Amino acid sequence: MSHITLIRHGQANTEARDEKSYDKLSALGHQQAAWLGDHLRASNAFHPRIYCGTLTRHIETAQSMGFAEEVVQDPRLNEMEYFTLAKALETQQGVAIPTEREHFAQHLPQVFSAWRDGVIKDPPESFAQFEDRVLGSLTEIAKGDGPALVVTSGGLIAMAMRQVMDLDIPAMARVALAIMNTSMHRLHPIGDQLSPVLFNAVPHLEHPERHYAQTHL
C-alpha cells in the first residue's frame, strides 16, 4: 500500500447556492492552489501519481498547482451534492437552509443524518453509494506504486476520515466543517489499513501575510 495525500480544492464561488454556480474557483482559490504547488516543489515532495475529480474546481486546482498533463481524472472523487440535498430536505421536510455560517454547524449533521436514513427522497445518490465510491476509489489508489496526491472536496475527505476512524455522523460533520481550502490530509498504511497521519495542514498559508487566505468557504 502507498500513502495518499488528500487535498481540498481552492476557494470556490462563495456566493453560490447551487452545484453549478459553486463549481469554479475564485481568484483567491487559484492563488491558494498556486502557493500549495510552489510549497510541494520547494519541499521536494514526491508524488508520482496525481488524481482529481472531474469537477471544474478540482481540475482548476490541479492546474493552478502546476499539474496538468499528469493528472488522472476520476468521477468517483467528486463531491456529494450538498446544495441539492439541502434543497431537497428543505422542500420535503421544511428544514431551512442556513444563511449564516454559524448555523451550518447544526444544519450539516441534519443533512447527513437525513441522507443516511433515507429521509431525503430521490437524492442524486444514496449515502451508501457515496460511501462505496469513496472507499473503492481510495482503496484502488492505495494499491498503486508510490505516494499519491488526490485533489477533491471537503465532503469526500470527511467521508474518508469517517471510514478510517469509524466516525459517527456528528463527528463526520464537524470534520467537514473544519476542512480549509487547499488543506492537506494524509492517509498512511499501517498494517493492512490506511490511518490518518495528517489533517488540515496548510503550511503554504502559515506565513502571517497569508493568514487571510486560510478559508473554509
Instruction: Please state, for a pLDDT cut of 90, what percent of the chain lies above it.
Output: 88
Residue 23 and residue 55 in contact, taking contact as beta carbons nearer than 8 Å: yes
Q: Is beta strand 49-52 parallel, antiparallel or unpaired with respect to 148-152?
A: parallel
pLDDT in tens, 150-205: 999 999 999 999 999 999 999 999 999 999 999 999 999 998 899 999 999 999 99
Q: Under DSSP, is residue 97 helix (H, G, I), strand (E, B) or coil? A: coil
pLDDT in tens, 127-140: 999 999 999 999 99
Nearest to 6 by CA among 53, 60, 43: 53
Which segments of 8-153 does DSSP mark as H helices, in order? 19-22, 27-42, 56-64, 82-93, 104-116, 127-142
Which sign, positive or negative, has the C-alpha torsion 84, 88, 90, 91?
positive
Q: Is beta strand 184-190 parallel, antiparallel or unpaired with respect to 49-52?
A: unpaired
Confidence grade of residue 68 (pLDDT, cut at 50, 70, 90)? confident
Q: Under DSSP, is residue 176 helix (H, G, I), strand (E, B) or coil? A: helix
Domains annotated for the chain, with CATH where assigned, are 4-204 (3.40.50.1240)
pLDDT at residue 63, as a whole number? 97
Strand partners, 50: 71, 149
Task: Give, as one character, the DSSP assignment of residue 161.
Answer: H
Relative orientation angle of helices 154-165 and 169-178, to the nearest 10 degrees = 140
Mean pLDDT in the chain? 95
pLDDT at residue 132, as a whole number? 98
Relative orientation angle of helices 169-178 and 104-116, to the nearest 10 degrees = 130
pLDDT at residue 102, as a whole number? 77
How far is the C-alpha of 185 from the C-alpha of 5, rounded, in Å? Answer: 5
Confidence grade of residue 60 (pLDDT, cut at 50, 70, 90)? very high
Task: Give, as one character, the DSSP assignment of residue 25.
Answer: B
